[in-house]
Homo-oligomer: A and B are copies of this chain.
Amino acid sequence: MEKVQPRTLPGFMELLPNEQIAFNEIKEKIQKSYERFGFLPLDTPIIEDAEVLLAKAGGETEKQIYRFNKGENDLALRFDLTVPLAKYVAQYYGELSFPFKRYQIGKVYRGEKAQAGRYREFYQCDVDIIGDGELNIIHDAEIPSIIYTTFKELGFEKFTIHINNRKILNGIFDEIGSIDKTTDILRIIDKIEKIGAQKVEEELQELGIAEKDIKTIMNFIKISGTNSEKIKTLKELGIKSEIFNNGLNELEQVINLIKVCGVPEKNVEVDLTIARGLDYYTGTVYETFLDDYKKLGSVCSGGRYENLAEYYTDKKLPGVGISIGLSRFFYQASKEGLIKSDNKSISKVLVIPMTDNLDKCMEIASEFRKAKINTEIYLADKKIKSKFKYADKLNIPFAVVIGDDEIANNKVTLKNMQTGEQETLTVQDVINKIK
């Protein structure tokens, strides 16, 4: 028979079992952290009517979308979890309780140029809090406590949640009468770490920004110090723009409330340069960086938006939320050695029968399972060496060898696969030891 070459499409993550175990552990920890805060699970379809999914999209996003016909239907694969959430809340509005807190962990699809660490199919892990008509600003402070809890749960200690407020940026540009140039200015500012302040000023000049406005911008982005010092300096800038002062007021509230929410000050930083997308977020914005691995970029980002579902409903639905791009994070963090898959296993015990009395071996395997210990029984008819090799290759930490002698004495031989140590014990002793 002619064979088809088995292969996986470029840009699609497919892991070996031990990597998958590591991946799932992280996914489960994120899920449990989100649930710890009472977020409700959603699982919307991956395929939606293209008209619904693209109600809002445009530009770059639309080009990346997987869109196709099936029969007479114009379909598309979701490219994020926010649009499906907007659709969901508009559709089931009457059956939901507000503030509506939901999480969703699922795959999304973007036909991007395939490159290392960029996936066309990838997991997003989102939480959002949606208000009906209004949403108290304290929820903007609740979000960092979710980020904090989640990354602590994932085993990280040194990470910083960067916080800004879009109104502050907009207010600055409003003040200098350049709000139409917002995109260009932000693009230039964004390069400051790479090209330096001097070059940024030059590029702003080329953009046609007046000298005194460049000074305002440069003074603004250079603001440094502790969070309260930054806020103090912002107040002293004497900017009149109402948008600016609204934003500053919100930022101050959020920073104060974050302390109330139990996030240590060292994990939070006012960062006046972050903006997150240009037309979506309207207030607080978040990015999260691992202190020693800043080059990974933001590992958890989001913000506040004024109106989630305006393309579907007249109801005003403000919200605030964050997303972890899990597939990319897993790829990068594994590469940096922050996630290790080498020693991962599902089974804790491999039962190795060295007797024809399989009944007894099966019975013992069942006892382990009843004690909630993941247990495999090696049933293939191989040499003992192959059986231990199997345990070794799968990183199974314990082998339980059962021979006729053991059965006669109501015991088993427990082998620690890491140390090679062996002891003969009762099943109950083995269970106690392993747990």
Contact = CB atoms under 8 A, between A and B. Distances in A.
A310 B358 CA distance: 33
Given A358-B260, A376-B101, A40 B12 contact: no
A388 interface: no
A142 to B, nearest CB: 7
A21 B38 CA distance: 12
A260 B350 CA distance: 18
A111 B267 CA distance: 49
B311 A38 contact: no
Nearest to A357: B260
Contact of A374 (B7, B35, B43, B102): B35
Interface string A1-29: 10111111100111111001101100000
A319 interface: no
Interface string A110-127: 010000000011000000
A43 B23 contact: yes
A91 interface: yes
A91 B55 contact: no
A279 interface: no
Interface in A29-80: 35-49, 51-52, 55, 66, 68-71, 73, 75
Nearest to A97: B393
Contacts of A358: 138, 257, 260
B111 A71 contact: yes
A208 interface: no
Contact of A136 (B6, B7, B75, B381): B381
Contacts of A274: none
Contact of A42 (B20, B73, B309): B20
A131 interface: yes
B374 A312 contact: no
Interface string A323-358: 000000000000000000000001100100000001
A288 interface: no
A1 to B, nearest CB: 6
A314 B38 contact: no
Nearest to A366: B262
Given A41-B21, A87-B6, A375-B38, A99 B380 contact: yes
Contacts of A6: 52, 86-88, 90-91, 309, 312-313
Contacts of A40: 17, 20-21, 346, 394
Contacts of A346: 35, 38-41
Interface string A73-109: 1010000000000111011100111110110000101
Contacts of A16: 92, 95
Interface in A363-415: 363, 366, 369, 372, 374-377, 379-381, 390, 393-394, 396
B379 A136 contact: yes
Contact of A3 (B73, B311, B347): B311
Contact of A45 (B8, B312, B372): B8
Interface-central residue, A101, A136, A375, A376, by most chain B CB under 10 Å: A376
